[in-house]
A and B are shown apart, each in its own frame.
Chain A
């Protein structure tokens, strides 16, 4: 795992000292709120509905056990004993008090973490495939590139005041688990005809009020061109991007208004100017970073105990079938720990759970933890013979739910329970859907189904790319939920299609149940997933299930 260099360390410490003094000056009245607001946002501190919220970056979703324990300590000391993992591989604390924030940031700096650039119109936390370095289908671990991008973008003088925020996601595998096509820049590792690794560079994706799938500006970018090329994209966007209207300021709108061809031409032209200015220092840096991400020393040991346990214990088997993924070392498995127990808040982990996950990572997981954009925690390297012990420990801590990829593994933004921007609640909708399908004992029969819920048009809950997407809105002073179907956040990314009028708060869970019953009725075989069935049968049967055959359902 990457460790801070002296430069990183002194930069983060200097920023903590700076912000500590800014907080003092706000509290003694030397700074007004108008002056202080941009400063606190630069350091990840928001003022939400009921309290402040501190958003902490977890670069490319990677955490050490020591860092996880420190997050638990922060939760216990300055918050309410839990943290919320987000769809951008951040963790949010919902109840910090302003005078305590400097102490929290100091505690973070002690474990090489910070909240810098988790807000504002800058390059945000670079997200990555949460199975990076472990996945069987991977070409190369994308995290060294993500770390290089983090170093390059942190406090980059040219890109601190972009037209709008800027999100980069990277995956080292052809199967996209990082939703790269819904990012301002998506980087997907591919090989060229000569077998060399490089990146497919995608630009202009984004969700929000104008959802768009990114277009490919370069089919193959040699890895050594990564930084100058990304810089060229940012540079073109920084010049062209609109600053007159915040709703038209993201790069997806710039691409849309300028045209793909013209943007591509401008990016290539700028790249031609920038490339000669890079003389290889970035590659020297990258080589050093790569060493920090060397694969762990995998154990070579028998796996028969796992096979026997798998055959003997149906509870373990159910969990293994849903929560394990193929590791590139076939004696190993990737464990997804569901932070989505039925009825609980998606993505919330208590401090005790964080400590347990840290212990398990240390004991069984080569001291590696990941946070997924789907708001779960990953142990990327677990030897199969250790899986029964890991499972038993997880079950005891309420973390053994066998639902990864199923209907109750819901992404939900904080919604109007916390967020000042939200137009409706999302968490209780997620809780009720999960509870309902647990009562019905249907979720394993339903199979893979991704529900994603956002509490406003900004789409932090990625509803546009949910197989079933739910968007909470305020319709004339009442919460109203719009449904989209057929969204897909993988390498075959598609924006979901609206079904029609929305549903009231107490109608949305029954509406989802009708959709799922319709799917169970029309699928051709249990292997046909919800998404496949939707693609085959189209919108009509689902519309009929939602609104009645004649579409006479009262419009909400």
Chain B
């Protein structure tokens, strides 16, 4: 009966700047989705989310987002999460600009 667990990443926004960030395996918050820890186990996902929720001075609103393994690290599945990796589509603002500079 058990459905296969869809891999997850932990994502949140930085408290001070609001930037979208991802939790890495070595407990950093990275701007890059590809650096996120891809979590393949449900129990581990809950533990990582608890850890994220304890980082109250760093991030706001952590949650688990579906992801899949890609050639250069985890990739988002849903379009909303894909937008969050970049920034808005009407201006070159947000991470798509910040990471390029």
Interface residues in chain A, defined as those with a beta carbon under 8 Å from any beta carbon in chain B: 26-27, 29, 32-33, 47-52, 80, 94-95, 97-99, 345, 416-418, 425, 427-428, 431, 474, 477-479
Contact = CB atoms under 8 A, between A and B. Distances in A.
Contacts of A29: 56-57
B94 A50 contact: yes
A27 B19 CA distance: 16
Given A47-B18, A51-B94, A477 B56 contact: no
A440 to B, nearest CB: 22
Contacts of A26: 15
B16 interface: yes
B65 to A, nearest CB: 12
Contacts of B83: 49, 416-417, 425
B88 interface: yes
Nearest to B85: A50
B17 interface: yes
A50 B60 CA distance: 12
Contacts, number: 74
Which among B16, B57, B78 has the greatest number of chain A C-beta atoms within 10 A? B16
A298 to B, nearest CB: 40
B89 to A, nearest CB: 5
Contacts of A52: 18
A478 B84 CA distance: 15
Given A80-B93, A478-B79, A50 B88 contact: yes
B35 to A, nearest CB: 18
A345 B20 CA distance: 23
Contacts of A50: 18-20, 84, 87-88, 93-95
A35 B83 CA distance: 29
Contacts of A51: 13, 17-19, 94
Interface string B60-96: 1100000000000000011110011001111101110
Nearest to A346: B90
A92 to B, nearest CB: 13
B64 to A, nearest CB: 16
A323 to B, nearest CB: 24
Interface of B: 13, 15-20, 56-57, 60-61, 77-80, 83-84, 87-91, 93-95
B84 A49 contact: yes
Nearest to B87: A50
Given A32-B56, A33-B61, A47-B60, A27 B94 contact: no
Contacts of B79: 416, 474, 477-479
A27 B15 contact: yes
A480 to B, nearest CB: 11
A398 to B, nearest CB: 15
B13 A416 contact: no
A345 B95 contact: no
Given A49-B84, A50-B88, A417-B89, A97 B94 contact: no
Nearest to B77: A477
Nearest to A49: B84
A410 to B, nearest CB: 13
Given A50-B95, A98-B18, 17 more contacts: A29-B57, A47-B13, A50-B19, A50-B20, A50-B94, A51-B17, A94-B93, A97-B17, A98-B15, A345-B90, A416-B80, A417-B90, A418-B88, A425-B89, A427-B89, A428-B89, A477-B78
